[in-house]
Amino acid sequence: MGLNTPGDEAKGKITSHLAGTGEYDLVARWAGGNNAGHTVFKDGEKYKTHLVPSGVFYGIPSLVGPGCVLHPESFQGELDYLSDNGFDTSLVKVHPNCHIVTEEHISSDKKNLASKLGTTSRGIAPVYAAKAARSGILAKEVLSKNLLWDSELQGRILCEGAQGFWLDIDHGNYPYVTSSVTLPYGACSIGFPPQKIRNIYGAAKIYDTRSGEDPLFPSSLLDDPFLKRLANLGKEYGVTTGRRRKVQWLDVERLIQSINITGATHVIISKCDVIDELGIYKVLDEKEIELKDLNDLLNHVRSRLVEDCPLVEEITFSYSPETI
């Protein structure tokens, strides 16, 4: 799951790495729809997905869970894309209770929410609203039988989140949030008790980014020359929308808060190579602090997490978009 920024923290890279270890029998997505985007590298090739879990890249059954929402045409397009690239899409199944995004939901999103809140215009908020109002449409009412999940959960399950902690509908900067639970307890919606959760992998970046509207990330950030260069070096554009992301220095206090609330046991902080290429090593930690070099920056972050995040067992700093 994402920790420091509202999405965009290399979750695709991390879930792909974990799926590729051969330790899992099922990869299951627990929330969101095709408003999320994951970038996965496999055998040197880059692939982009929006709803299909990363197990499909490794021959592992992949489930779109009941807490997700699905636009059938977009989902079929993603299956075709994966099939055209040689992956076995018969492994991908949808839970019968997953809710269906309709064209009316998309139209409502574009008309009422996109310009106001910076949504992805994918109909996500309206379909979750319909779900809460008991007027939604379930996958089992729409999708063909061969696409529906009809098995029992068993074995070792890798649960794949979407978006990040600060987009969570309960803990984010409401109303500038997504419409689902992004925290790891949401994974239990797949159909297992919380006692079964072993490890919680938290994805972060060494700097913060934000797609869409959020007063905590004002548009003035786009005009800062150093942050602008950082955004260009990091190729900070949304996988789903292609929008330019607003960039800010890493807020260490907010990162600590998200780690402690989620219970993350393993923290992977990516794009260390990008900030090293920029050559400016700043964090926000009560105030803006500039460190001497990358080593000092990473040591500062590590020491703060070790001191204030008692549940963390392992901290990894990543320097590549392809591997951890």
Instruction: Say if residue 244's pLDDT is above 70.
Output: yes
| pLDDT at residue 7, as a whole number | 55
Instruction: Give long-range contacts, CB 8 A cutoff, 24+ apart: 281-285.
Output: 282/249, 283/249, 283/250, 283/251, 283/252, 284/248, 284/249, 284/250, 284/251, 284/252, 284/253, 285/251, 285/252, 285/253
Is 174 part of any domain? yes
Q: Write out the E strands in 11-166.
A: 26-29, 38-42, 45-49, 62-64, 69-70, 92-94, 99-100, 157-160
Is 4 part of any domain? no
**What are the tens digits of pLDDT across the range 35-91?**
877 888 888 899 999 999 999 999 999 999 999 999 999 999 999 999 999 999 999
For the domain that residue 153 is a member of, what is the CATH number?
Answer: 3.40.440.10
240 confidence band (pLDDT: 50, 70, 90): low
Q: Out of 161-165, 192-196, 227-231, 316-320, pick the least confident.
A: 161-165
CA distances from 223 to 28, 48, 144, 241, 247 (A): 39, 29, 49, 21, 10
CA distances from 196 to 126, 145, 187, 188, 309 (A): 32, 29, 11, 9, 22
Distance CA 52, CA 66 (A): 13
| pLDDT at residue 163, as a whole number | 87
The two tokens of residue 318 are 């990543």
Q: Which residues are CB-contacts of 303 (< 8 A; sequence separation ≥ 6)?
A: none
Contact (CB, 8 A) for 207 and 230: yes
Is 3 part of any domain? no
| pLDDT at residue 247, as a whole number | 93
User: Which residue(s) pair with 99 in the sheet?
Assistant: 69, 138
Helix axes 252-262, 294-308, angle to 10 degrees: 40
Q: What positions carry a catalytic annotation?
A: 8, 38
Is 322 part of any domain? no
**Gyration radius (Cα) of the chain, Å:** 19
**What are the tens digits of pLDDT across the range 252-311?**
999 999 999 999 999 999 999 999 999 999 999 999 999 999 999 999 999 999 999 999
**What are the tens digits of pLDDT across the range 200-238?**
999 999 999 988 788 889 888 989 999 999 999 998 886
**What are the tens digits of pLDDT across the range 125-153?**
999 999 999 999 999 999 999 999 999 99
CA distances from 134 to 26, 112, 137, 163, 190 (A): 29, 21, 9, 25, 19
Structural domain boundaries enclosing 115 = 11-317
Largest CA distance in the chain: 59
239 confidence band (pLDDT: 50, 70, 90): low
Instruction: Say if residue 113's pLDDT is above 90.
Output: no
323 confidence band (pLDDT: 50, 70, 90): confident
Instruction: Say if residue 1's pLDDT is above 90.
Output: no
Average pLDDT, the chain: 93
User: Which residue(s) pair with 42 in the sheet?
Assistant: 45
160: nearest Cα among 316, 270, 38: 38
Is 323 part of any domain? no
Is 6 part of any domain? no
Q: Which residues are CB-contacts of 273 (< 8 A; sequence separation ≥ 6)?
A: 319, 320
Is 5 part of any domain? no
Distance CA 12, CA 1 (A): 10
Distance CA 190, CA 298 (A): 36
Is 36 part of any domain? yes
Tally of domains within the chain:
1
Distance CA 74, CA 82 (A): 12
| pLDDT at residue 112, as a whole number | 87
